[in-house]
A and B are shown apart, each in its own frame.
Chain A
Amino acid sequence: MSVIWTRDGSYRRVEYEDEADLEAAIVEVQSELFGPNRIYLT
């Protein structure tokens, strides 16, 4: 089990429920994940 520790508490690795859940995460982080000059179309 992988953990990220911060002064405000620790974060534990959690699995995605299904591919739709992963898809939603990608949409959420898309600007950082792909950069400003790339457009993700779903």
Chain B
Amino acid sequence: MKKKIGAKGGLRNIPDGYLVDLSGRQPRLYVVENELASHDPLRHIAVQILQFSLSFEEEPRAVKTVLFNSLQAQPEAKAQCEEYAARHAFRNLDHMLEHMVFEGPFAALVVIDELPEKLESVLAERFQFGVEVLEVTRYENGQGDRLYHFEPFLADLREDVAAAEQAVKAGASRVDTSEFDTVVVPAREEGFQEVFLGENRWYAIRIHGTMRPQIKYIAAYRVAPVSAVTHIAPVKSIEPWKDTGKFVVNFTEPAREIGPIELGKGGRGRALQNLRYTTRTRLEAAKTLDEVW
């Protein structure tokens, strides 16, 4: 499917692939770049992604045509897209692709064999749009049998979506990853007082490249003995934190109190172990932590 995109005489580029994401209410497209760490990846990947984004802006119709033609050659994938289109009120496959390419935000996915230390920081500094990075490593035994090691794409978001779907079954309104606007972080008391309240920021956390542009609020879950979400702040910026591959979230103003949104009655329910995503609406309406997801 490798086709050049971009206007004649302008930038012309060949992505290694496209990822069509049908896991949410809105279809989402990622331009995929596969890269080996031995090939000066920082410079190469940054340049490639910049060119892809410019070509995407210049020639969205060419991208749509590439996708349409590729799906014609893959009947199962085409059927899956058509079924999704029908379920989500698109007129047909063509309409769905048009919506995805013309209305959706540009996003990129880099798959690499070994994640260079500074890659995620460099990409976050250079690009306003979402860029995800996946590391896929390979192992082999003496008989040539192979194992692959990787963290599945947006794996922690899948958990949040699964939790939201459970909530829907229990009567809550449906939430979609594209609607996530709030990140909830677990905080120990000392760090909460000194940094979250004292410095109006929170570091050093990992936030997905595709989530960063849409995060507008940060809330703190204070670990035991408080065991509750107690504060929320609007987000001013999310920037790389030194060269750690992690990020600092700067607040627009000091955090204000909410809730407290505690674990279920008698401390039942799961305490927050890692950063999770939700919506401010869902967070502020929640009586217990389980209702947040």
Binding site for B on A (CB under 8 A): 2-4, 8-16, 18-19, 22-23, 25-26, 28-29, 32-35, 37-42
Listed by A's residue number, 10 A-B pairs whose Cβ atoms lie within 8 Å are A3-B139, A4-B139, A14-B138, A15-B113, A26-B136, A32-B152, A33-B134, A38-B153, A39-B74, A40-B18
A41 contacts B23, C-beta separation under 8 Å: no
Tell which of A15, A25, A35, A42 touches B148, judged by Cβ atoms closer than 8 Å. Answer: A25
Binding site for A on B (CB under 8 A): 1-2, 16-23, 32, 34-36, 38-39, 67, 70-71, 74, 77, 80-81, 111, 113, 134, 136-143, 145-150, 152-154, 158
B137 contacts A13, C-beta separation under 8 Å: yes
Classify the interface of chain A: helix, strand, loop or mixed.
mixed
Residues of B within 8 A of A3 (CB): 139
Q: How far is the CA of A16 from the CA of B136 in the complex (A)?
A: 10
A41 contacts B137, C-beta separation under 8 Å: no
CB distance from B151 to the nearest CB of A (A): 9
Residues of A within 8 A of B19 (CB): 34, 38-41
A16 contacts B23, C-beta separation under 8 Å: no
Q: How far is the CA of A15 from the CA of B74 in the complex (A)?
A: 30
Classify the interface of chain B: helix, strand, loop or mixed.
mixed
Tell which of B36, B38, B67, B147 touches A4, judged by Cβ atoms closer than 8 Å. Answer: B147
User: Chain A: which residue is nearest B74 at the CB level?
Assistant: A41
A11 contacts B139, C-beta separation under 8 Å: yes
A22 contacts B152, C-beta separation under 8 Å: no
**9 pairs of A and B residues whose beta carbons are closest in the complex:** A11-B139, A37-B23, A42-B17, A39-B20, A14-B140, A41-B70, A39-B77, A41-B18, A37-B22
A9 contacts B141, C-beta separation under 8 Å: yes
Residues of A within 8 A of B77 (CB): 39, 41
Q: How far is the CA of A41 from the CA of B19 in the complex (A)?
A: 6
Answer whether A40 and B17 are a contact pair too, CB < 8 Å, given A11-B147, A33-B134.
yes
Tell which of B1, B39, B136, B154 touches A41, judged by Cβ atoms closer than 8 Å. Answer: B1
Residues of A within 8 A of B35 (CB): 19, 22
Residues of A within 8 A of B70 (CB): 41
Residues of A within 8 A of B67 (CB): 41
CB distance from A14 to the nearest CB of B (A): 5
A41 contacts B20, C-beta separation under 8 Å: yes
